[in-house]
Amino acid sequence: MDHGQTAATQGSRIDAYVDRYAARATGMVASEIRALFAVASRPEVVSLAGGMPYVTALPLDVVGELVADLVARRGPVALQYGSGQGDPHLREQICEVMRLEGIDAGSDDVVVTVGSQQALDLITRIFIDPGDVVLAEGPSYVGALGTFAAYQASVVHIAMDDQGLVPADLAETIARLERAGRRLKFLYTIPSFQNPAGVTLNLARRREVLEICQRAGLLVVEDNPYGLLGFDGEPMRALRADDPEGVVYLGSFSKTLAPGFRVGWALAPHAVRDKLVLAMESAVLSHSSFSQLAVGQYLATQPWREQIKTFRELYRERRDAMLTSLEALMPPGCTWTRPAGGFFVWMTLPEGLDSKAILPRAVAERVAFVPGTGFYADAQGAGNMRLSYCYPQPDRIREGVRRLSGVIEQEIRLRDTFGTGSAPDHIGVDTPGPDLA
């Protein structure tokens, strides 16, 4: 080998390898918005962009003791490989958590995953060939859209209103795609406190959606990380509670405990469960025993239902701070959803305003949000933005909304002076960074 070869020569070798990426890698695109979020994460910027749970509300000292105790007492198990399906005791505990949403399931049908994000990845991996159709609410969770793109699925959106996805549109879309000979694989839905829209599928529609999917022989993937974070009354009945054979349910401890443990799960009919375990083993051999046992220990020894109540009250106060200040400050023509739980408000801007174009100006005014286009697979959403209230304190939320309303007022003045559609600054959201979760 000629050691005189330059870096440039080596660079061209890399180019050749890069040319050989699998076709699916083209679906994995970095978010142009990340650079901006580096700025947005400065302390002077109020971020209404991130979906980060407020883990500071946890009894961190207790969690710390619990983890230390776990290593001291059960180190040889906690620090060892585990089973591909997940710790049997934790799977029992997960069934107890799911009972709060009317689900009656055996721990044998649960697969523990690295957050529900990995469950999404595994489900997509075992069902999707390039070009297969996934139906998903429009808008939908950016991390799911990224996964579907990575497996070259074709995402077709189903309309939503303030009661969740519209069953008539679901039925029509299925019929239209079947007539066109498309291969439909599953409906991906976030029925409760949807990310990003903040809306919840009402009970009557839950039945309708299940009936439509049963008639069409279409599997439902129910993604439910926020289900226990409702602000009024009891948790909604999960879709899975009424159709154990037709629904794969995805759950997570990210929002009810902490995302740092990375513990989520899939509850699936036997045959699907078997494939999921195989896919899990091929992906990571087994989930972290340490994380699983820590979560199991937390559930066994701590008042976790009370902790969820603490989270609910904290997020309710923040939701109220956001809704009240939107009401007081946003200029006419802006509309938004009123979430009954979860983390997000979805805002619709006045005609002719583009949220991507507004973002850099908003960051200059020290407030950040996520533009709506990232939540669609088909470039809709320019007139929308996602505002999250989960992380900032209520007075910061009020200040953030005040800054944002000033920016939007200014945009409206520009629109009225120069006509509609100031050129967007080429910002797209394609894959989720932690900020976009």
Q: Is the peptide bond before 43 cis (omega within 30 degrees of 0)?
A: no
Indicate the residue among 247 and 353 with the shorter CB distance to ligand PMP: 247
Residues in the chain: 437
116 is a contact residue toward ligand PMP (CB under 6 A): yes
What pairs with residue 113 in β-bridges?
Answer: 264
Work out which of 93, 107, 117, 405 binds ligand PMP, going by CB under 6 A. 117
Neighbouring residues of 202: CB distance < 8 A, sequence distance ≥ 6: 163, 164
- Three-state SS annotation for 46-113: EECCCCCCCHHHCCHHHHHHHHHHHHHHHHHHHCCCCCCCCCHHHHHHHHHHHHCCCCCCCHHHEEEE
86, 264, 296, 392: residue in contact with ligand PMP (rule CB under 6 A): 264
3-class DSSP state for residue 267?
strand
Nearest distance, CB of residue 116 and ligand PMP, angstroms: 4
> Minimal CA–CA distance to 22: which of 185, 152, 148, 183?
152
The residue written with tokens 């759950």 in the block is: 251
3-state secondary structure of 243: coil
Select the residue interacting with ligand PMP from 115, 198, 392, 433 (CB under 6 A): 115
- Label the pairing between strands 263-267 and 247-252: antiparallel
Residue from 37, 48, 49, 51 that binds ligand PMP (CB under 6 A)? 51
Contact pick of 139, 225, 246, 433 for ligand PMP (by CB under 6 A): 225
C-beta closer to ligand PMP: residue 254 or 337: 254
Work out whether 122 is an interface residue with ligand PMP (CB under 6 A): no
Half-sphere exposure in the Cβ direction for 370 (13 Å, CA): 33
Task: Return d(Cα 29, Cα 270) in angstroms, integer.
Answer: 34
Q: How far is the CB of 254 from ligand PMP (least distance, A)?
A: 3
Interaxial angle between packed helices 394-418 and 355-364, expressed in degrees from 0 to 180 and rounded to the nearest 10: 120
| Residue 195 beta carbon to ligand PMP: minimum distance, rounded to whole angstroms | 4
Find the shortest distance in angstroms from Cβ 375 to ligand PMP. Answer: 11
Closer to ligand PMP by CB, 135 or 407: give it.
135
| Binding residue (CB under 6 A) for ligand PMP from 252, 289, 292, 431 | 252
Q: Give the count of residues interacting with ligand PMP (CB under 6 A).
A: 15
**Segment lying near ligand PMP (by CB under 6 A), choices 39-47, 165-173, 252-260, 280-288:** 252-260
Residue from the set 137, 223, 243, 435 that interacts with ligand PMP by CB under 6 A: 223
Residue nearest to ligand PMP (CB): 115
Cross-strand bridge partners of residue 263: 114
The least CB distance from residue 437 to ligand PMP, in Å, is: 4
Which three-class secondary structure string do you get for 309-374?
A: HHHHHHHHHHHHHHHHHHHHHCCCCCEECCCCECCEEEEECCCCCCHHHHHHHHHHCCEECEEHHH
Complex with ligand PMP: residue 288 or 325, whichever CB lies closer: 288
- Residue 93 or residue 116: which is nearer to ligand PMP going by CB? 116
* Binding track, positions 181-210, relative to ligand PMP; x by CB under 6 A: ---------x----x---------------
- Provide, rounded to whole angstroms, the least separation between the CB of residue 190 and ligand PMP: 5
Measured distance between the N- and C-terminal CA atoms of the chain, rounded to whole angstroms:
47
Stretch that binds ligand PMP, among 59-67, 110-118, 273-281, 416-424 (CB under 6 A): 110-118
Distance of CA 418 to CAs 34, 193, 345, Å? 30, 38, 29
Enumerate residues 136-175 that contact ligand PMP by CB under 6 A: 141, 143
- Binding segment toward ligand PMP, per CB under 6 A, in 33-41, 109-117, 127-135, 234-242: 109-117
C-alpha to C-alpha distance for 106 and 108, rounded to whole angstroms: 5
259 lies in the binding site for ligand PMP (CB under 6 A): yes
84 binds ligand PMP (CB under 6 A): no
The smaller minimum CB distance to ligand PMP, of residues 264 and 433, is found at: 264
Q: Which residues are near ligand PMP by CB under 6 A?
A: 51, 115-117, 141, 143, 190, 195, 223, 225, 252, 254, 259, 264, 437
